[in-house]
Amino acid sequence: MESVLINRLSTLSHPQRMGVFRLLMRRYPDELPAGEIAQVLALKSSTTSVYLSALTQAGMILQRRDGTRLLYAVNLDATREVVSDLFLGCCRGRADVCPPQLADLLKGIAPSSGPKYNVLFVCAGNSARSICAETILRDVAGDTFTAYSAGTAHRSDLNPFAVEMLRSKGHDVSHLRSKNIAEFQGFDAPKLDFVLTVCDRAANEDCPTWPGQPVSGHWGMADPVKVQGTDAEKCLAFNQTYGVLHSRISAFTSLSFGSLDRAALQKQVDAIGKDTSLQE
């Protein structure tokens, strides 16, 4: 109904309510507690509650109780209805009016340049988790994928525990360096097929839209850099991180890229990040 569309657009027209919605959209299919949403967006708890209530009433987000916590996630069906009503209803699906991305998203995915898929792993600092992911993918399936990694922070150094751990497992670390995502957003940057965040902070940030609409996913995990204790305890944390990343990347590289359409491929990428059996 048109009144539902108008109500939803009105709810999203408020900049900070839109900020909440965009955060939950970036983190889909994750569910976030109100406290984390308030912290990421630097909002008061009471203000966040008001915005969440408005978005829930409009049907744009879903609320679920988990013990004493309330968890929130995007209502993807409602979001699709808004897009459909705007572009398929209002303009009757005319190809010369509708955004080409609507048709492109239904297609399968082919390598954007040459015979390989370009994959970028993103973290806040590009010092440990994303560096490990880049290295693992390069050495596990370098014939099919070109692996990159970058951080959202302006500058970071490689973590020595991460570098030593990779070296101990037989990886070549001589070429590794910390990079910023700006390197992958210029006109001469490689065209990306997949962008995978491996930390919540990077996933929460409102980054510019990636050219070419790459498939994105969030494979969040604890930061081994923050582990306190002896060197042995720190090394254990980095080895555990390596194990999780290796399991996820192995699952990723085994997907049937040639036979899956884009929607099915997106679901598989999301499922890898949520699969608890790959986190052990």
- Token pair of 107, please? 């297609």
CA atoms within 13 A on the CB side of 148: 21
**Same-domain check for residues 123 and 86:** no
Does residue 109 lie within any of the structural domains?
A: no
- How far apart (Å, rounded) are the C-alpha atoms in residues 263 and 95? 20
Q: 128's torsion region: left (phi>0), alpha (psi -120 to 50) or beta?
A: alpha
Assess whether 83 and 168 both reside in one domain.
no
In the chain the beta strands, taken as DSSP E runs, fall at: 32-33, 61-66, 69-74, 117-123, 145-151, 194-197, 215-218
Asked whether residue 6 falls in the same domain as residue 122, the answer is no
Lateral strand order in the sheet of 69-74: 32-33, 69-74, 61-66
pLDDT tens column, 127-186: 999 999 999 999 999 999 999 999 988 777 899 999 999 999 999 999 999 999 988 887
| Tally of CA atoms within 13 A in the half-sphere of 265 that contains its CB | 22
Strand partners for 119: 147, 194
Q: Are 198 and 244 in contact (CB under 8 A)?
A: no
Q: Which residue has the higher pLDDT, 12 or 112?
A: 12
Among 94, 126, 151, identify where a domain stops: 94
Regarding whether 67 and 171 lie in a shared domain, the answer is: no
**Separation of alpha carbons 83 and 122, rounded Å:** 28
| Joined tokens for residue 35 | 């406290």
Q: What is the band of 92 on the pLDDT scale with cuts at 50, 70, 90?
A: very low
Residue at a domain's end among 29, 60, 94: 94
Structural domain includes residue 102 = no
**Residue 52 · residue 44 · CB < 8 Å:** no
Is 130 in contact with 149 (CB distance < 8 Å)? Answer: yes
100 located within any domain: no
pLDDT tens digits, 58-81: 999 999 999 888 999 999 889 888
Neighbours of 64 (CB within 10 A): 10
Instruction: Specify whether 143 is located in the same domain as 264.
Output: yes
Angle at 216 between CA 212 and CA 221, to 5 degrees: 150
Residue 150, domain member (yes or no): yes
Same domain (yes/no): 127, 250: yes
Q: Is residue 103 part of a domain?
A: no
Residues 70 and 141 in one domain: no
| CATH number of 215's domain | 3.40.50.2300
Structural domain boundaries, residue 6:
2-94
Looking at the structure, tell me whether residues 11 and 125 fall in a common domain: no
Domain total of the chain: 2
Q: 59 lies in a domain? A: yes
Same domain, 245 and 131: yes
The domain boundary residue, chosen from 62, 94, 126: 94
At 123, is the pLDDT very low, low, confident or very high (cuts 50, 70, 90)? very high
Identify whether residues 148 and 267 lie together within a single domain. yes
Domain membership flag for residue 99: no
**Band (102; pLDDT cuts 50, 70, 90):** low
What number of other Cβ atoms are within 10 A of residue 244's Cβ? Answer: 19
Same-domain status, 69 and 150: no
Written as six digits, the tokens of 47 are 């203000």
Rg for the chain (alpha carbons), in Å? 20
How far is C-alpha 232 from the geometric centre of its chain's CA atoms? Answer: 31
